[in-house]
A and B are shown apart, each in its own frame.
Chain A
Amino acid sequence: MPITTEFEYVKPRDMDEALHVFSLYREKARALAGGTDLVVHLKENLARPEVVVDIKALQELAGFTLKGGILRLGALVTFSDLIDSPVIKAKFPLLWEASLTVASTGVRNRATVAGNICSAVPSADSAPVLAVYDAEVLARSIRGERRVPIADWFTGPKKTALQPDEIVTAVEMRLPAKKHAGCYMKLSRYEGEDLAQGGIAVLAFSDNTYRVAACALGPKPARCPRTEALLAGNKLGEKLLARARETILQEVSPISDIRSSKEYRLHMTQVMLGRALEKAVARLFGKGPKYGTENIA
């Protein structure tokens, strides 16, 4: 299916050039990295930019590093890059696990983590994971660079804190110092690639504290602070789990759409929270299923 809309295509050689294009064109410019959303939107005439800025030549956006306990994911890092990395699998297994659930191999080979959070669809699989790691988004314009906590990044469905003249350069997160383990549970219609009808990410720490975040269960991906507060300091048990399953219902607000009903999403929020917590805690003690298995609900 051909793209019928017309636009200028530029491929800046350095960051300055790219940032100048964005400061000139602002909303009329769209960044092209993986293109897995943008190209589809161009074909369907949902995106009509005046200029498409191909940022793939910008070296400082490429690759990822883990230095001093800080993981920096350049804006061009794809989900396959993460999946193929033994470092990510060893140090950030939750990020690795969630990456495996994003779309299909072909899409993951191109789709970037930065693109996933810039698209900011409520179902973004990477979002709850970045939320529980307290990630920060690095945004730059000719005015300078700023750091946006992931909690402030999503401002609504498909809306972010990114300014029209900015691009995302990287996403950073700190490797938690305490012993921890995680689990990402995703509600899909089948085992193949699917957009999450709901997702719950959990990080469980050895001091009985927990971080919980959700996607596709409200207008934007977000942490679940009340559930976290209820769990904090307690060992996981049947009674606590039952209360957590009730509490999280106050923190999600799913809708009914073609993919799932509100009723099923609420039901599965409880099921997935319970399973994610149990698996994360089991993993904390070296038990539980291997990362990347049994996480499609």
Chain B
Amino acid sequence: MDLQKLITKPKKSAKPQQAGDGLEVVGRSFSRVDGWEKIKGAAKYTDDLEFGPALLYAALVESPHAHARIKAIDTSSAEKVHGVVKVVTGRNFTQKFGLYMNDRYVFATDIVRFVGEQVAAVVATDPKIALRAAALVKVQYEELPAVMDAVKALEKDSPLVHPNLKDYTHVPWFFPKPGTNIAHWRKIRKGDLAKGFKDADLVLEDTYTVPRYAHCAIEPHSAIGLYDASGRLTMWTSSQSPFTQRHVFAETLKAFGLGHKDVRVISTYIGGGFGGKAGVTMEIIAAALAIAVPGRPVKLLWNRAQEFYNTYQRLGVTAKIKMGVTKAGKITALDFKLHWDAGAYVEYGANVVNAAGLSASGPYRVDNISVDSMCTYTNLPPCGAYRGFGYSEFLFGLESHITRMAVQLGLDPVEFRKKNAISEGDTLPYGAHMNPNGIRQAIEKVEKEIAWGVRQKSKDPTKAIGKALVCFWKSPAMPPNASSSAFLKFNEDGSINILVSGMEIGQGLLTVMAQIAGEVLALPVSKIRVETPDTDRNPYEWQTVGSHVTWGCGNAVKRAALEARERIFDLVQRVHCLDKSTLYLQDECVKCRTKPDFALPFRDFVINGIQAEDHTFKGGPIMGSGVFMPEFASAIGDPETGQGGHPNVHYTTGSAGIVLEVDRESGKMKILKVALAVDCGKAINPDLVKGQIVGGLMQGFATVLYEDMRYDGKGRLLNPNFSDYKIPTAMDMPGEVVPIIIEVPQPDGPFGARGVGEHTMIPCAPLIANAVADALGVRVKSMPVTKEKVALAVKAAAR
């Protein structure tokens, strides 16, 4: 098994306990609290849930056209099939929905806008019957001209995907251009661009392209809906966002008398999300179908092909970069134009465009900058959240460009990056200031790890070895009022249950929340239970996206634990007459600094109180609640310059380096070594951070080396399968992966922590492109950088 080849070297900085920080639970690599449950198969995923013989199954009728008018739908033959309970079309549900832009339909009503869009659904007693009947639904279409390219969509005579754009509601920080295909245009203007280019000794302009990508979570989307006789809608979903889903269900289906209290979303463990299970996609169909067949649960389970073409895809982008640099290696100007292909509906994807536009400088100080990040409608499947949220896409071009400019000026690309790297207090492209960060330490550690500057030679004469080092940053992209909250309650034996609605999506959230509470309450992780949410029981969480839950939800849990601790101290002070300020928690007991022999175990009082001298009892069940909202954030700035506001709460920064062996003839690439250093502020659980680093790198390398969504001229996805959409196997692991943890505390993070989930995949594409250039002198400017492209580029260069 090639997994053996994976050597993860423990780094000094990653050691569980740093001397002197006084932490007992935080900073140590406890095993995951959900580990045994998953290993033993006890963990339930949505498709595992049992609903008994009343369960109905749904199958969809999907559009074969990229853009067409629905002339007529004949459901009569399907309705006659024995076992069919109901056939539902857009006539039954005309509502629109959307997270940031209200542009998506439950079912296509008059117009279909991408191949695979849901036009109707059959609900039947058996999945085979549903599929057979769906094939009998006859839909008459009148084909319309379609647009498949984000740049062509801007041309004057381009077909309009949403002619009624002016009537759509959206968040106040979006700037759609009705009468065009521009759904949102994020502009950044800072400094004096013309002067910046004048001051430059070298100006380089080029275009980089990135195709669409799919998340490829192991578990496909699934949702079960039940609209019961009491008028409540319960949804079991495989989701990163139970509360956001509840809100979208309630808002979209309010015409049926549903309020938020009537909608309940239960989210089980999920088999991977990567952004694909954020917001609402296919789940709205299951909710609508449940309404259509009251009293019986309806299940909608995506097959692998649907997983590819009808959830969210990662946006494609054409990135035009013009950059000015002085001989000394200072970036003087950056003009960055990003044309995003966001697909037929951009209700979530437009915010990717926004986030990328705000941060397109990368982790560098650029005083004169202009960014045009344009969200364009096309007749391809809808795009939305994907791990990295636009940053991987713009960094491919930006980090490729930076290395090219440094090399052209005869400067060391690593020194160049050190010189321009952002510092605490620097002004960000939108005018706010940069948070404390360890980007320079990250560069230095990675530089050392890959022995930058030392040229390596392959033993095989047909192969060359190249190196590269790049930097990355990312901020959570979230509404300024995105909140987290937590409940915490003690049990008789001194154990606790924590209720949050942050989702365990494989990243280890449950374990991290347990460690945060355990640190405050002096409890071992083994005495803490945290489970996946049910919106009736668990308190609010906006979504598990943007690498923000360790920070946001962690802050809420910490506050809940502090509140519980405060109640404990209040009680002990009241009953034992010990001053609160002298009390502390240790080893599941309340202790007192001034009275060394005092130790009151939690189990003696956290439910039944403390018996006073008069035999009465004081106290009662100890609980805590915590809420966190980033009250300093604001999304409102000047639409023409992007200045004003404080849209991003903080950035996580880092650096990655690679040693890559490339076959000159076949183009085949082998990653001999990769090192990634990320400043996570504080690694609550270092092993989980390392897991994110290894996993993120693999996902990132997959997008640059193998993955590529291919469409034909009619907008049909040609590879909605793993035969031709390749994701890496254990055989494709790098030779050596070195995860490096940097800890420059985030002042407002729990124990100094900030997010780390997405960042680890962001640097991969330019790492490969730059290392190939270093090894063989050829530059690939379009992703993926496949062995075919490399081999043909080498061949062309030799001519």
A residues within 8 Å of B by Cβ?
1-4, 104, 187, 189-195, 258-261, 263-264, 267-268, 271, 296-297
Provide the B695-711 mask, 1 if CB < 8 A to any CB of A, else 0. 00000000001100010
Please report the C-alpha to C-alpha distance between residue A259 and residue B787 in the assembled complex, in whole angstroms.
12
Q: Which among A3, A104, A190 has the highest number of chain B CB atoms within 10 Å?
A: A190
Contact assessment for A189 and B732 in the assembled complex, using a CB-CB cutoff below 8 Å: no
Partner of A259, one of B2, B666, B724, B729: B724
Note all chain A residues with C-beta closer than 8 A to B792. 261, 263-264, 267
B791 touches A264 (CB 8 A): yes
Cβ contacts under 8 Å, A297 to chain B:
666, 668
Q: Is the CB of A271 within 8 A of B726?
A: no
Set of chain A residues within 8 Å of B666, measured between Cβ atoms: 187, 268, 271, 297
- The interface centre, meaning the residue of B718, B726, B728 with most chain A CB atoms within 10 A of its CB, is B726
Contacts of B668 in A (CB 8 A): 296-297
Which 4 pairs between the two chains have the least Cβ-Cβ distance? A192-B729, A191-B731, A264-B788, A271-B665
Q: Is B719 an interface residue (CB 8 A)?
A: yes
Residues in B with CB closer than 8 Å to A2 are: 127-128, 131
Residue numbers in A under 8 Å from B718 (CB-CB): 258
Q: State how many angstroms separate the Cβ of B216 from the closest Cβ of chain A.
A: 13
Q: Which residues of A contact B791 (CB under 8 A)?
A: 264, 267-268
Let me know if B723 is at the binding interface, CB within 8 A. Answer: yes
B177 within 8 A of A: no
Asked if A261 and B726 sit within 8 Å, CB to CB, the answer is no
The answer for the CA separation of A3 and B128 in the assembled complex, in Å, is 7
A56 to B660, CA, bound (A): 47
Task: Report the minimum CB–CB distance from B305 to chain A (whole Å).
Answer: 9
Knowing A189-B786, A260-B788 touch, does A1 contact B303 (C-beta < 8 A)?
A: yes
- Shortest Cβ distance from residue A263 to the other chain B in the assembled complex, whole angstroms: 6
| Min CB gap A102→B, angstroms | 14
Chain A residues contacting B726 (CB-CB under 8 Å) are 189-190, 192, 194
Besides A190-B726, A190-B731, 4 other A-B contacts (C-beta < 8 A)? A2-B131, A189-B726, A190-B732, A192-B726
Q: How far is the CA of A193 from the CA of B722 in the complex (A)?
A: 10
Chain B residues lying within 8 Å of A259, measured Cβ to Cβ, are: 724
Question: CB-nearest residue of chain B relative to A297?
Answer: B666
Q: Is the CB of B729 within 8 A of A191?
A: yes
Q: How far is the CB of B723 from chain A (nearest CB, A)?
A: 7
**Min CB gap B1→A, angstroms:** 11
Which chain A residue shows the least CB distance to B794?
A: A267
The interface residues of chain B lying within 8 Å CB-to-CB of A104 are 729
Q: Scan B330-366; emit 1 where CB is below 8 A from any A CB, else 0.
A: 0000000000000000000000000000000000000
For residue A261, which residue of chain B has the nearest CB? Answer: B788
B132: Cβ under 8 A from any A Cβ: yes
**Contact (Cβ within 8 A) B724 A191:** no
B795 at the interface (CB under 8 A from A): yes
Q: How far is the CB of B9 from chain A (nearest CB, A)?
A: 23
The number of residue pairs between A and B whose CB atoms lie closer than 8 Å in the complex comes to 58
Do the beta carbons of A4 and B710 come within 8 Å of each other?
Answer: no
Do the beta carbons of A258 and B728 come within 8 Å of each other? no
Residues of B within 8 A of A (CB): 2, 127-128, 131-132, 135, 303-304, 665-666, 668, 705-706, 710, 718-719, 723-724, 726, 728-732, 786-788, 791-792, 795
How many angstroms between the C-alpha atoms of A111 and B303 in the bound complex? 24
Which residues in A have their C-beta under 8 angstroms from that of B787? 189
Complex Cα–Cα for A191 and B731 (A): 6
**Which of chain B's residues has its CB closest to A192's CB?**
B729
Q: Contact check, A192 vs B131: say whether CB atoms are below 8 A apart.
A: no
Does A258 contact B710, Cβ atoms closer than 8 Å? yes
Contact A192-B719, Cβ < 8 Å, known A4-B132, A263-B792:
no
Cβ of A258 and Cβ of B731 under 8 Å apart? no
Give complex CA distance A4, B131 in Å: 7
- What's the least CB distance linking A262 to chain B, in Å? 11
Task: List the B residue with the shortest CB-CB distance to A3.
Answer: B128
In the complex formed, the residue of A with least CB distance to B729 is A192
Chain A residue at minimal CB-CB distance from B220: A1
Per the bound structure, the CA–CA distance linking A190 and B788 in Å amounts to: 11
What are some 20 contacts across the A-B interface (CB < 8 A)?
Answer: A2-B127, A2-B131, A4-B135, A190-B705, A190-B706, A190-B726, A191-B2, A192-B729, A192-B731, A192-B732, A194-B726, A258-B710, A258-B719, A259-B724, A261-B788, A261-B792, A267-B791, A271-B665, A271-B666, A297-B666
Name the residue on A nearest B135 (C-beta).
A4
* Interchain CA distance A194-B726 in the complex, whole Å: 9
Separation of A193 and B132 alpha carbons in the complex (Å): 32
Closest to A268 in B: B666
How far is B726's CA from A259's CA once the two chains are assembled, in angstroms?
10
- Taking the closest CB of chain A, its distance from the CB of B656, in whole angstroms, is 21
CA–CA, A2 to B303, complex, Å?
10
Q: Which residues of A contact B705 (CB under 8 A)?
A: 190
Q: Are B728 and A192 within 8 A (Cβ)?
A: yes
Minimum CB–CB distance for B680 against chain A, Å = 30
A1 CB to nearest chain B CB (Å): 5
Complex Cα distance, B710 from A261, in Å, reads 14
**How far, in angstroms, from A259 to B303 measured CA to CA in the complex?**
23
CA distance A191 to B698 in the complex (A): 14
Q: How far is the CB of A174 from chain B (nearest CB, A)?
A: 33
B668: min CB distance to chain A, Å:
7
- Tell me, rounded to whole Å, the shortest Cβ–Cβ distance linking A236 to chain B: 17
Task: Please give, as numbers and ranges, the residues of chain B lying within 8 Å of A296 by CB-CB distance.
Answer: 668
Q: Which of B303, B665, B706, B728 has the most CB of A within 10 A?
A: B665
Bound-complex Cα distance A189 to B724 (A): 9
Residues of A within 8 A of B795 (CB): 267
Chain B minimum-CB-distance residue to A193: B729
Please report the C-alpha to C-alpha distance between residue A193 and residue B719 in the assembled complex, in whole angstroms.
16
Complex: how many Å from CA A297 to CA B791?
12
Chain A residues contacting B2 (CB-CB under 8 Å) are 191
Q: Which residue of B lies closest to A260 (CB)?
A: B788
The CA of A174 and the CA of B74, in the complex, are separated in Å by 62
A4–B133 Cα gap in the complex (Å)?
10
Best-buried of A104, A192, A263, A268 by chain B (most CB within 10 Å)? A192
Which residues of A lie under 8 Å from residue B665 when comparing CB positions?
Answer: 271
Nearest to A43 among chain B residues (CB) is B303
Q: Which residues of A contact B304 (CB under 8 A)?
A: 1
Residue of chain B at shortest CB distance from A185: B666
Closest CB in chain A relative to B386 CB, distance in Å = 21
A187 to B665, CA, bound (A): 12
- What's the Cα separation between A271 and B792 when bound, in Å? 13
* A2-B128, A258-B719, A268-B666 as given contacts; A191 in contact with B732, CB under 8 Å: yes
- Chain A nearest CB from B699 CB (Å) reads 14
| Shortest distance between the CB of A30 and any CB in chain B (Å) | 20
What's the nearest-Cβ distance from chain B to residue A255, in Å? Answer: 14
Docked-complex contact B706 and A189, CB < 8 angstroms? yes
Q: How far is the CA of A189 from the CA of B131 in the complex (A)?
A: 34
Q: What residues of A have a CB within 8 angstroms of the CB of B730 in the complex?
A: 192
Closest chain A residue, CB of each to CB of B301: A1
CB distance from A121 to the nearest CB of B (A): 11
The CA-CA distance from A269 to B792 in the complex, in Å, is: 13
- Complex Cα distance, B721 from A193, in Å, reads 13
Chain A residue, CB-CB nearest to B668: A297
Q: Return A254 CB to nearest CB of chain B, in Å.
A: 13
B-side contacts of A261, CB under 8 Å: 788, 792
Question: What is the bound-complex CA distance between A263 and B794, given in angstroms?
Answer: 13
Tell me the complex Cα distance, A203–B304, Å.
41
Q: How far is the CA of A258 from the CA of B786 in the complex (A)?
A: 13
Q: In whole angstroms, how far apart are the Cα atoms of A258 and B732 in the complex?
A: 21
Chain B positions within 8 Å of A192 at CB level: 726, 728-732
| Shortest CB distance A189–B (Å) | 5
The residue of chain B having its C-beta at the shortest distance from the C-beta of A45 within the complex is B135
What residues of A have a CB within 8 angstroms of the CB of B135 in the complex?
4
Give A10 Cβ to nearest chain B Cβ, in Å.
21
| Residue among A187, A191, A259, A268 with most chain B CB within 10 A | A191
User: Chain B residues near A194 (CB, 8 Å)?
Assistant: 726
Chain B residues contacting A190 (CB-CB under 8 Å) are 705-706, 726, 728-729, 731-732
**How far, in angstroms, from A71 to B127 measured CA to CA in the complex?**
46
